[in-house]
Amino acid sequence: MKYISTRGGGKPQEFCDILLGGLAPDGGLYLPESYPQVADRLDEWRGLSYAELAFEILSLYITDIPAADLKAICDKTYTTETYRWSRDAAKARDIVPLTTLEPDFHLLELSNGPTLAFKDMAMQLLGNLFEYVLDRRNETINILGATSGDTGSAAEYAMRGKHNVRVFMLSPEGKMSAFQRAQMYSLQDANIFNIAVRGMFDDAQDIVKAVSNDAGFKAKYKIGAVNSINWARVAAQIVYYFKGWFEATTSNDQKVAFCVPSGNFGNICAGHIARMMGLPIAQLVLATNENDVLDEFFRTGIYRPRATAETYVTSSPSMDISKASNFERFVFDLVGRDPAIVRQLWREVDGGGSFNLAEGPFATRLPDYGFVSGSSSHADRLATIRDVWQRHGLMIDTHTADGVKVAREHRVAGLPMIVLETAQVVKFAETIREALGRDPVRPKELDGIENLPQKVEVVDAALDQVKDIIVRHC
């Protein structure tokens, strides 16, 4: 399998060659040249363990790693030891257990990994792939990133202790919850460097951009990233759509709907690809919070990224995005994989504008892809968390609540609805207390995590101070 850019530049690449990079050199995103068709393999795959299924699916996309090695990487990644935080310990061996709220309405638990959010599903695989490829090539990488919570901690837990990888993760000093800080800063691994920046998330992000724009420094210190546009992350996420579908159906002609709490369009993009591969998905329900860029597109055909000043801080913070960095992948498919059209559309977007597909040839094609959407507010989240608690005795986090709210609006009789549970309640305790007047349930092993010794260097929002830290530790 070879990979091409959504903007049409460059020659097709092998998987391992795009694994360590980000955007394609022409500014586009990588996608496989074609989607393998697997409808006739579903019978054979039903009943496989998560690791076995991951190997079957990923081996269609990763053809430049020997099968035995890829199998070992999947087996090492998807273990009950790593994904052990299920609310029902008896179901932990499923890796992504399905919880049925009522007939034909389910939650798929994707947040049982070490940082209690769905990002672990892909990031843990990425950690093992990085180590494998870097070892084989005798190369090193220094991952530099900025985080306001979930992504940074998932990256650190995936890369901790790995050979040839260091992680330098910037976070805004004092802006994350005590639990999130403890999760990241308590890691004592020699290859993990937490850097707290006196400033906001945007200041940290600006420093990362400035380092990346310094080509000399970037090359000399082998700076890399693991952001949400990384193809391997999307590929890893395809697997749980198959697993969820197997768990919710008994025969191979049964269709389902998935509802996905969305921000950067990474998670639901994997659902779109699963559907393109022949998984019987009737509906992909996209849920946003008040930051409704994507809901607006699927309702109106207009894609209008927002300015930072127009991006709201909400109680489902991992969905607070102003533009959806993976959306270009879907649009590439929608416009018939014509890179000239993608280039033209993103010329508008990258220049701060918008595009409208409501008129013209693509409006009639959009319904073929099965997307519907909706958004929710803080009040909706509180009401949904309360309702699920009262009716089912289950606590759900704020992002999952956005999903449940929008999923209910799109239910079709006889069509099983699977809501992706993207985080655990303990990460968003404040809103749980506001909704339910009590503390969230916390996995026992994490009791007192806030009291562990922390390893973090505090710096001003100054490029030189961050570069200094990198230079000192390389």
Q: Which residues are catalytic?
A: 119
Q: How many CB atoms lie under 10 A from the CB of residue 337? A: 15
87 lies in the binding site for ligand PLP (CB under 6 A): no
Q: Which two tokens stand for residue 360?
A: 């013209």
261 lies in the binding site for ligand PLP (CB under 6 A): yes
153 lies in the binding site for ligand PLP (CB under 6 A): no
Which residues, 422 to 441, sit near ligand PLP by CB under 6 A? 422-423
Q: Which of 228, 315, 375, 431 binds ligand PLP (CB under 6 A)?
A: 228
Is 343 exposed, middle or buried, given 0-12, 13-18 or 19+ CB atoms closer than 10 A?
A: middle
Report d(CA 344, CA 79) in Å as an integer. 44
267 lies in the binding site for ligand PLP (CB under 6 A): yes
**Quick one: which segment of 77-85, 120-128, 204-212, 256-264 binds ligand PLP (CB under 6 A)?**
256-264
Specify the 3-state DSSP secondary structure of 255: coil
**Quick one: which segment of 202-210, 218-226, 259-267, 435-443 binds ligand PLP (CB under 6 A)?**
259-267
| Minimum CB distance to ligand PLP, residue 95 (Å) | 17
| Minimum CB distance to ligand PLP, residue 136 (Å) | 29
224 lies in the binding site for ligand PLP (CB under 6 A): no
- By rule CB under 6 A, what count of residues binds ligand PLP? 16
Nearest to 150 by CA among 424, 465, 389, 335: 424
Q: Which residue has the tokens 């993103």?
A: 346
Report d(CA 403, CA 421) in Å as an integer. 8
Report long-range pairs for 333-341 (Cβ below 8 Å, ≥24 apart): 333/272, 333/276, 333/369, 334/362, 334/365, 334/366, 334/369, 335/362, 339/5, 339/6, 339/7, 339/8, 339/9, 339/28, 340/8
271 lies in the binding site for ligand PLP (CB under 6 A): no
| Minimum CB distance to ligand PLP, residue 320 (Å) | 10
Q: Which of 264, 288, 289, 375 binds ligand PLP (CB under 6 A)?
A: 264
CB distance 146 to 201 below 8 Å: yes
Report d(CA 122, CA 459) in Å as an integer. 30
| Minimum CB distance to ligand PLP, residue 319 (Å) | 5
Q: Which is nearer to ligand PLP, 127 or 261 (CB)?
A: 261
Amino acid at 408: R
Q: Which is nearer to ligand PLP, 19 or 116 (CB)?
A: 116
CB distance 126 to 236 below 8 Å: yes
**Quick one: which segment of 178-186, 257-265, 328-336, 438-446 binds ligand PLP (CB under 6 A)?**
257-265
In terms of phi and psi (left: phi > 0; alpha: psi -120 to 50; beta: otherwise), the region of 174 is left
314 lies in the binding site for ligand PLP (CB under 6 A): no
Binding footprint of ligand PLP on the chain (CB under 6 A)? 117, 119, 150, 228, 261-267, 318-319, 399, 422-423
